[in-house]
Amino acid sequence: MKRRDTGNNVVIKGIGETGLINIIRDIIGYYEDNDLEHIEINGYRLAVKIDGLSLSTSRMPFMTFYDMGWKVMASVVSDFFVKLSKPLYAIVSITLRGNTSIDDFRELIRGLGDGAGHFGVRYLGGDLNEGLDDVIDVAAVGVPMIGTIGRRPKIGDFLVTIPQFGYTGLVFKLYYDGRLNDWLNLDAVKRGINMLRRPEPPINMLSELLRYGDCISASMDSSDGLGKVLWTLSTDGNVKVVVDRLPMSDDFAEEVKSIPGITIEEVVFNGGEEFLPIFSISSDCEEDFRRLGFEVFAKVEEGSGVYYGSSTLRYKGWDYFIGWST
């Protein structure tokens, strides 16, 4: 009798984060993948978020334990910000290997504490475990300042962001190509390293943005790369996204020309960890957002897919259990 393959030998590597989320939906019957969740308790609306990282996959050679604590706190704050919500309290679950030095442990806690304080969040403590890898998870609670902002842009919208993409993507590209040490003196590389070590989601802009909350139909941050943001907005909103220009500075574009083997589109779209906001806004709000430092870089049209110029965008950002997608 032939034995039926039940699929028990299939590993999750290659299925991808999106595929695994679909499995979660099938099993628990509900999973709203919108970066930040709103809940109501006794008439009070709250915003909640959990995010985490593994040091074995997320820590680069130039990053300290302090940097990693700051980074994971910033990643949670960034998701609150793009949904126009204010983070208030955070608790942290830490798993460390037994051979981690006490100095590294202290630096991790300082990074978490300083990051929380910098972003106006109170770090309440949490849980501590021993394991085979170093893992940090931050859960935060805060208040939504307006209604729910999802991932479904409206046809006719403009996509806006702060035009500082490319720096982290350049560092990632040089690092994985084994060439980072050759370009450490380049200003664009220095800035990219600083952005990775001390990400700064612009939470201080929240009060000003609240004045224009009615302009925003959808939002995401760029933690997994601009390409992934654009493809997610297109898929979830069932719309066509057309990128008109690369959201980067003129100085960055000029510097990158000096580095052989770098495709500027790749480092802009397949970067990640910039923690920059991307908002889909009504076209008549363009000038208001320009005054805040945002620039229009794409339009939302009827149809499907993401296009850069006349071609389908090949870059799709980072996906856990797959890697960089093109």
Q: What is the DSSP string of 112-137?
A: HHHHHHHTT-EEEEEEEEE-SS-EEE
Hey, is 214 helix, strand or coil?
Answer: helix
Per-residue pLDDT, 326: 66
Higher-scoring residue by pLDDT: 255, 317: 255
Per-residue pLDDT, 97: 97
**34-144 — its CATH code?**
3.30.1330.10
- Dump pLDDT digits (tens) for 167-179: 999 999 999 999 9
- Dump pLDDT digits (tens) for 199-231: 999 999 999 999 999 999 999 999 999 999 999
Distance CA 254, CA 258 (A): 8
- Dump pLDDT digits (tens) for 125-148: 999 999 999 999 999 999 999 999
Show the tokens assigned to 98. 């037994």
Count CB-CB contacts under 10 A for residue 306. 24
All structural domains of the chain with their residue ranges: 34-144, 158-324
**158-324 — its CATH code?**
3.90.650.10
Per-residue pLDDT, 128: 97
Average pLDDT for 8-31: 80
Distance CA 30, CA 50 (A): 17
CA distances from 56 to 4, 132, 134, 171, 274 (A): 37, 10, 7, 18, 20
End-to-end CA distance of the chain: 43
Distance CA 245, CA 264 (A): 12
Count CB-CB contacts under 10 A for residue 210. 13
Common-topology check for domains 34-144 and 158-324: no
With a cut of 50, say whether residue 325 has pLDDT above it.
yes
Per-residue pLDDT, 33: 62
Enter the pTM of the model.
0.92
Per-residue pLDDT, 32: 65
Distance CA 284, CA 299 (A): 13
With a cut of 70, say whether residue 8 has pLDDT above it.
no
Degrees, nearest 5: CA angle 221-119-55: 65
Q: How far is CA 106 from the centre of its chain?
A: 26
DSSP H/E element including 277: strand 277-281
